[in-house]
Structure 1
Amino acid sequence: MNTSLVDKYNISGPRYTSYPTVPYWNNETFSLNKWKESLVQSFKESNSKEGISLYIHLPFCESLCTFCGCNKRITKQHSVESPYINAVLKEWDLYLELFDEKPIIKELHLGGGTPTFFSPEHLKILINGILNRSVLADNYEFSFEGHPNNTTREHLQALFDVGFRRVSYGVQDYNETVQKAIHRIQPFENVKRATEMAREVGYTSVGHDIIFGLPFQTIDHVKSTILKTKALLPDRLAFYSYAHVPWIKGNGQRGFNDNDLPAPELKRKQYELGKQLLAEVGYHEIGMDHFALKTDSLFKSMGNGDLHRNFMGYTASKTQAMIGLGVSSISDSWYGFAQNVKGLESYYNLLEDNIIPVYRGHILNEEDLVIRQHILNLMCRFKTSWTNDTLRFPELPDALIRLKEMEQDGLLKIETDSIAVTDKGQPFVRNICMAFDLLLQRKQPDTQLFSMTV
């Protein structure tokens, strides 16, 4: 990796799980009624063709991991499980009232927090409650995030029994010093046990999440973690850059000092080394930060041109409508975004009053939809074009001017009616997307809103 390019392009920028990005949502023109209308429109257009996706946020954790940027509630009181599940199912009922036919579930993902905080019995109650008033798509995919320390065979079997075939485990790093800094102590043996159990139960896709750029993390730490990962050969990997955003997450990301973090050049070397080691054993890079074996659905979707990106990250297939259930969950109708309240008490109170617990969002205009498609193309396929007039927009010449210097640096190629990101430019795809981000270009933030791009 060219050090000068890292220095040049390592700036604050979005990860583009959406466009517009959350800080640029127009909450003044948003309303719950407008959100419902956009979702009903999307549902009518797409349910029978492709189904819908569900994301369910389970926020509870028994201890705080200081690297984590998720919305969570720390508690050891498992009495919170049943009331929360009842609330999520109530929220689902409120959404079902909007539709004139049963939703066809194509994708369902349990995230957190720590989904395996919940007992196997309660997880089955939750999923059965969702499915009892739905239809399963022929090629549905259910997945969940498991904590290697507390995912039991009973968890795996219970979720397998209701249709789950994919699980991802948060590994982060195997070095004890790093684990202590991020308050996530989990030996390799725990990850090995959880991975092997999933395969024994019958899961067809096991994923590991690994993070580089963590406090006290060295090149040797990353190498050791990747080598141990190769020994288990998970079907897919998320190899993320640590997003240091303490100004958003407060004390949750202050378990260490800023000077304990690797410098940008070292951080990029960690990524390049990890990428090299993963390639040697047969992993292929998928979009940004993801890797998969040829047998995994994520790799196949990339080859078929079906790779999609939303608030759940990269997915193997697209649905136009994605409903987020639970505190802080974000929903996407393609025409609009909506986020639930983040506090448990507010969430419960709104549901008691039969109100879908949304507190902010954005309804996309025509310009938003065009720019969203370009950014989605770049993030999923490393190219975009405007041969179709519907993808042209007045500021396109300005965007191409912003990209000219990146072309001179070898990060992309600009053609008459398209651009393509080069291999050299793929690590900088967030920077390339920023050239198309009209809202960001029109109003640069006064303070740092996003993590660094490198």
Structure 2
Amino acid sequence: MSHAIPDDLLQRFDVPGPRYTSYPTADRFVEAFTEADYIQALEQRRAGSLAQPLSIYVHIPFCESVCYYCACNKVITRHHGKAAEYLRYLSREMELQVQHLGAGQSVSQLHLGGGTPTFLSDEELSDLMHMVRRHFSLVPGGEYSVEVDPRTVTRQRLEVLHRLGFNRLSFGVQDFDPAVQKAVHRVQPAEQVFALVAAAREIGFESVNVDLIYGLPLQTPESFARTLTQVSLLRPDRIALYGYAHLPSRFKPQRRILSAELPSPSDKLAMLSASLDALGEAGYVYVGMDHFALPDDALAVAKRQGRLHRNFQGYSTRPDCDLIALGVSAIGRIGATYSQNAKTLEEYRDLLDQGRLPIVRGLALHRDDLLRRAVIMSIMCQGELSFESIDLGHLIDSRSYFAREFEALQPLAEAGLVQIDGSGLQVTARGWYLVRAIAMVFDRYLQTDQDRARFSRII
């Protein structure tokens, strides 16, 4: 099954742009949004009687060693005693949250990210989950996932995670080639990953995801093709395929990567093109952007049924809901607001020691933000924009309101990425591979923003 999009189009629309895990994007958050604004949003939710179940994200920032490609907020340390102290602060943060939100709120989605969540010991992971259950109510049938560094777990640790209630795992693989692994300071034998995935299936995890990255140092189209063959044999339920964004001015670990060892733009494009073909031939459904899933996986089913959603963790099967973010640098959403916690452990701890929630910036969305968020998420998730739906939901005339945007879409329509008619906009099969470029047209902030270098490129 060919990916059905010429390489010249991939290259033509390979521009820097947001990933739209939110709109407006996090770079638009302001310090004028304070803890008081966040508390007001929590109390408004508490007063509402029809609130949907919550989603919770917990950021565990610790890693024993640095991966040179990494752009996450992390703390490199081999001193595991720091984790116990961090958990005490997480407990304080949860207590402050429920003071304003109300205890026992239903939660249908929980994700532990990082850093390396499996930096925590079994006992610490148990303490963390007990802490979550003490303050919130995890509903049966929810999605409870954890990011796993294969170097930090055994079959026994996976059994512990399953007993604690996790039903989904995400393994960071990136590449199976030993030379590439050494170049990015993340050596993990393929045999180890295969054994862990097999164990996860035997234990009973509902879904296993594998992360891959193309564009890393020493990668070639030939070497990455071998990795894709191994991944096809591994056959995870989901695959996240990310393009490496080399931004050493922003992310200090990337300065250890030699620019001369990075693949050329043409080789990087060849890797993407071959990946789309290889994963299609292996039976994976292209969900959107960098996500692939087997046809019977919940994510692929949600796309077929038009139930796909998007949040700060990427594509999701869960309805768009409020997100409680816990831990250093974590980003949350309550109602028509976004908020972010302090980015350093020192500031995070200091604010909690003062009895304050560690909110340092955020955004209260206005009417145009809410409208454009609805449009962009409809494009990113359903691949369409219905004039009637948007007009009724926001009391506007879409064709008039977005006249400039539809004019800007003409080159994309001529390239066969999108179709526009009297009822709305439809992303084509080939347009799905460049859906970020389509969504960007409706981003009001980008229309006057000349500095897009802070974003990764689409390809």
**Which of these residues, 6, 20, 29, is aligned with residue 10 of structure 2?**
6
Distance (Å, rounded) in 2 between the aligned partners of 1:373 and 1:70: 27
Alpha-carbon offset, residue 45 of structure 1: 4.3
**What letter matches 1:404 in structure 2?**
Q
**What letter matches 1:136 in structure 2?**
L
Alpha-carbon offset, residue 49 of structure 1: 5.2
Pairwise CA RMSD of aligned residues? 1.7
**What letter matches 2:224 in structure 1?**
V
**What letter matches 1:71 in structure 2?**
N
**Which of these residues, 189, 192, 200, is aligned with residue 190 of structure 1?**
192
Counterpart of 1:165 in structure 2 is 167
Alpha-carbon offset, residue 434 of structure 1: 1.0
Contact 1:166–1:206 under 8 Å retained in 2: yes
Please, which moves more after superposition, 9-18 or 104-113?
9-18
SS at match of 1:230: helix
SS at match of 1:246: coil
Counterpart of 1:24 in structure 2 is 28
SS at match of 1:106: strand
Distance (Å, rounded) in 2 between the aligned partners of 1:202 and 1:428: 35
Alpha-carbon offset, residue 41 of structure 1: 2.8
Contact 1:149–1:186 under 8 Å retained in 2: yes
Contact 2:11–2:269 under 8 Å retained in 1: no
Distance (Å, rounded) in 2 between the aligned partners of 1:209 and 1:253: 19
Alpha-carbon offset, residue 319 of structure 1: 4.1
**Which of these residues, 39, 43, 64, is aligned with residue 40 of structure 1?**
43
**What letter matches 1:328 in structure 2?**
S
**Which of these residues, 110, 113, 126, is aligned with residue 112 of structure 2?**
110
SS at match of 2:112: strand
Contact 2:46–2:102 under 8 Å retained in 1: no
Distance (Å, rounded) in 2 between the aligned partners of 1:68 and 1:256: 11
- Specify every segment of 5 or more residues in structure 2 that has no aligned partner in the other structure, as ranges: none
**What letter matches 1:234 in structure 2?**
P
Residues paired across the two proteins, number = 450
2:211 aligned with 1:217 = no
Distance (Å, rounded) in 1 between the aligned partners of 2:115 and 2:29: 25
**What letter matches 2:64 in structure 1?**
E
Alpha-carbon offset, residue 44 of structure 1: 4.7
Distance (Å, rounded) in 2 between the aligned partners of 1:106 and 1:294: 23
Contact 1:43–1:321 under 8 Å retained in 2: no
SS at match of 2:405: helix
- Specify every segment of 5 or more residues in structure 1 that has no aligned partner in the other structure, as ranges: none
Distance 1:43 1:141, change over 3 A: farther
Counterpart of 2:427 in structure 1 is 421
2:458 aligned with 1:453 = yes
Contact 2:59–2:115 under 8 Å retained in 1: yes
Distance (Å, rounded) in 1 between the aligned partners of 2:369 and 2:320: 18
Contact 2:62–2:115 under 8 Å retained in 1: yes
Deviation by residue 1:63-121 (Cα, 9 ceiling, x = unmatched): 00011110000000111111111111111111000124521010000101011111011
Deviation by residue 1:343-380 (Cα, 9 ceiling, x = unmatched): 11111111111111011111110110110111111111
Deviation by residue 1:383-424 (Cα, 9 ceiling, x = unmatched): 112213135466400110110111111111111241111122
Alpha-carbon offset, residue 280 of structure 1: 1.8
Counterpart of 1:431 in structure 2 is 437
Distance 1:27 1:367, change over 3 A: farther
Contact 1:3–1:265 under 8 Å retained in 2: no
Distance (Å, rounded) in 2 between the aligned partners of 1:54 and 1:313: 14
SS at match of 1:436: coil
Deviation by residue 1:2-36 (Cα, 9 ceiling, x = unmatched): 343233222111111111112223443x2221122
Contact 1:57–1:112 under 8 Å retained in 2: yes
SS at match of 1:57: strand
State how 1:59-74 maps to structure 2 within 5 Å: 59-74=61-76
Alpha-carbon offset, residue 184 of structure 1: 0.8
Counterpart of 1:324 in structure 2 is 325
Counterpart of 1:124 in structure 2 is 126
Deviation by residue 1:298-347 (Cα, 9 ceiling, x = unmatched): 11221222211111111111242001101010001241111111111111
Alpha-carbon offset, residue 244 of structure 1: 2.3
| Aligned residues with identical type, % of pairs | 38
**What letter matches 1:340 in structure 2?**
N
Counterpart of 2:205 in structure 1 is 203
**What letter matches 1:267 in structure 2?**
K
Distance (Å, rounded) in 2 between the aligned partners of 1:98 and 1:324: 14
Distance (Å, rounded) in 2 between the aligned partners of 1:88 and 1:317: 25
Distance 1:412 1:341, change over 3 A: same
State how 1:262-341 maps to structure 2 within 5 Å: 262-341=263-342
Contact 2:337–2:365 under 8 Å retained in 1: yes
Alpha-carbon offset, residue 153 of structure 1: 2.6
TM-score after normalising by structure 2? 0.94
Please, which moves more after superposition, 127-136 or 360-369?
127-136
